[in-house]
Structure 1
Amino acid sequence: MIRTDSLQITPEILGLITRVDEFKGAWRALGTLAPDRLSALRRVATIESIGSSTRIEGSRLSDRDVERLLSNLQTNTFTTRDEQEVAGYAEVMDLVFASWQDISLTENHIKQLHQNLLVYSDKDTRHRGHYKTSNNSVAAFDEKGNPLGVVFETASPFDTPRLLTEMVTWFNDERAANRLHPLLLIGIWVVVFLEIHPFQDGNGRLSRVLTTLLLLQAGYAYVPYSSLESVIEQSKETYYLALRQTQGTIRSDAPNWQPWLLFFLKALAQQVHQLNRKLEREKLVLAALPTLALQIVEFAREHGRITMAEAIRLTDSNRNTLKQHFRTLVEQGHLVRHGAGRGAWYELR
């Protein structure tokens, strides 16, 4: 049974919820960009989410590696475990974005999402879509993918089916009764899911997929356009500390939800902040840039980078004219240059 009678709504928690909900309410007005611009924002956010979520669990692929892999997903040939995990995460994210209204929170759907998440992972063939049969634990990894140690122990395989049934029933009952604010409800559900750690592997990634699903179902429609996973990756130490502090109290008579909920709500607020900055930049870029420069920026945003050769093919302009536009875009802070000469390439700042 999940106990929330000890939950305290502090001014800080209330302020964070208010900040996120204000953006949620303003999203329609803020999000009136052209469909192609929204599509480009979503593509960048998806790449960041996939890269960050898999790196939190030890992957070594950069966002650029992820972008390159996504452009070849139709090959279905992924030689390394990192590539297999990225491909699976990409597919399950696409599924959630396309069908979130039809994916009710049931054990069968959770198992199906887990199976989809690990569909390309060779070493996970036997246990994907099935609850764990041996003990596991939450481990932390550094930026190079090396394990740092165990963060906390998790539920036993014997207790897992019962605990999952209880938490799914609790969430659906609470959501129907509307007793808790949706962000608090989702935050508590996610940390309990991680405390149980129901599958042999893939629990962290699945928890972030489920977070996105539940936020979309709660009306936070901006979620696909800004990466919550990248916010978590940038705060990994705080993430693991908050998990540890709350996890150890969940089965007590007075769970301490505060550490995790503060981290979760701050991450959501940072996600909103980053999206707001992107939207403001979009407006400034659209209003101020010449057509040729705008084409360059849009290509870089959609593909993650741009070279002189790509700009020539894109715009059918001469090299000297494009050099001047690239120089101006770098000076104005829109682009960052990497390399020199004909090997140079540019990405958004």
Structure 2
Amino acid sequence: MDMITTATLRITPEFLGLIAEIDEFKGAWKALGTLAPERLSALRRVATIESVGSSTRIEGSRLSDSEVERLLTHLSNHAFTTRDEEEVAGYAQTMEQVFQAWEHITLTENHIRQLHRDLLRHSHKDEHHRGGYKTAPNNVAAFDGEGRQIGIVFETAAPFDTPRLMRELIEWTNATLETKSLHPLLAIGIFTVAFLAIHPFQDGNGRLSRILTTLLLLRCGYGYTPYGSLESVIENNRDGYYLALRKTQVTIRTETPDWQPWLLFFLRALHQQMQRLERKVERERILLAALPELSLRIMDHARAHGRVTLKEMTILTGASRNTLKEHFRRLVESGQLAMQGKGRGVWYRLS
């Protein structure tokens, strides 16, 4: 692909160190056997809420994680009233497709188009271009406080060139991953920054790039990806994210592309994702060893459903209300649950 030249890529000691630690965790995750399936499921739910909230907020959504959680809890019978809700629902459902079927979703133009169509499935405004490459320029622009465009930050690929560039990028990525001529994390990072430089769709490119990153990580054996939110790491470092993208993207079409700024950010973000998940797993192990069985069941229900009530646990466990009240009280006092509402409307969520 004439757009991808890696001859100028320097593999620095920091690159090697980050990759080594991420791959070590990848191997340890495969051997993980100390957490029960329901606790892994609860970890994944929390990560999903964080990922959906963060990825859509990066693109301008205003929904908090708690609002995302409520929306996803009632997704099957929810009527969307805002574009933010449409985007959150589309992202959550498309990400779940990837989690469930990543082994069967190869990196092809057809699959990328299908994922884009699914991502925007609830957005009526985007109905005319779902799953289709852009037909008008979509350069990345800067706006003032009144919403007026004040300049172009980055010129993306022209609509005429987009189909060719996408074919070349996909061919390069698949060939690089198959031949292992670059470490897969470096190949995935280069795919992501090049995809965003092309900006192949009229809208939804940022969200789709993060879904495709997750897909490629899963296909390359990073099975822990659904349990730790990479998107929330990026949101917390948003300025660095955009700066690294731009530093690399402005050089991509030159004879000496500078991959370092973006790849360093990308590897550091993956490493931070890994560290956060590592800490969560360790807390789960401590929790498992310290809490009584009834308290564990309360916590598991709260993680799996986003909330828990005394009535629900009375029905599920058969324990007396007084016994359960004591468990709830201790969990609140220890800071593991937070009480919401008053009187008969009281419910609890994870702190």
Normalising by structure 2, we get a TM-score of 0.90
1:169 and 2:145 matched: no
The Cα of 1:204 is off from its aligned counterpart by: 0.5
Could you list the per-position Cα deviations for residues 50-100 of structure 1 after superposition, in whole angstroms to 9, with x for gaps in the alignment?
111111111112222222222333236322211111121122112211221
Greater Cα offset, 335-344 or 129-138:
335-344
Partner of 2:154, secondary structure, is: strand
| 2:288 aligned partner | 286
For the residues of structure 2 that align with 1:290 and 1:179, how far apart are their CA atoms? 51
For the residues of structure 1 that align with 2:315 and 2:240, how far apart are their CA atoms? 45
For the residues of structure 1 that align with 2:234 and 2:246, how far apart are their CA atoms? 15
The Cα of 1:305 is off from its aligned counterpart by: 3.1
Partner of 1:179, secondary structure, is: coil
Partner of 2:31, secondary structure, is: helix
Could you list the per-position Cα deviations for residues 212-231 of structure 1 after superposition, in whole angstroms to 9, with x for gaps in the alignment?
11001101011111111111
| 2:124 aligned partner | 122
1:55 and 2:57 matched: yes
| 1:258 aligned partner | 260
Calculate percent identity across the aligned residue pairs.
Answer: 65
Could you list the per-position Cα deviations for residues 324-349 of structure 1 after superposition, in whole angstroms to 9, with x for gaps in the alignment?
43343234342344566666554334
Q: Which amino acid aligns with 1:131?
A: Y
Q: Is the 8 A contact 2:71 2:78 kept in 1?
A: no
For the residues of structure 1 that align with 2:309 and 2:237, how far apart are their CA atoms? 32
For the residues of structure 2 that align with 1:178 and 1:221, how far apart are their CA atoms? 19
Match for residue 240 of structure 2 among 231, 234, 238: 238
Partner of 2:129, secondary structure, is: coil
Match for residue 154 of structure 1 among 129, 152, 156: 156
| 1:189 aligned partner | 191
| 1:227 aligned partner | 229
| 2:304 aligned partner | 302
For the residues of structure 1 that align with 2:77 and 2:308, how far apart are their CA atoms? 24
For the residues of structure 1 that align with 2:223 and 2:168, how far apart are their CA atoms? 28
Partner of 2:128, secondary structure, is: coil
For the residues of structure 1 that align with 2:217 and 2:104, how far apart are their CA atoms? 14
For the residues of structure 2 that align with 1:276 and 1:232, how far apart are their CA atoms? 18
| 1:15 aligned partner | 17
| 1:200 aligned partner | 202
Greater Cα offset, 306-315 or 66-75:
306-315
Counterpart mapping for 1:14-163 below 5 A: 14-75=16-77, 77-138=79-140, 151-163=153-165
Q: Which amino acid aligns with 1:181?
A: H
Q: Which runs of 5+ in 2 are unaligned?
A: none
Partner of 1:126, secondary structure, is: helix
Q: Does the C-alpha gap of structure 1 residues 31 and 153 become closer, same or farther in structure 2, counting only changes over 3 Å?
A: farther
Q: Which runs of 5+ in 1 are unaligned?
A: none
Partner of 1:120, secondary structure, is: coil
Q: Which amino acid aligns with 1:92?
A: T
Q: Is the 8 A contact 2:54 2:231 kept in 1?
A: yes
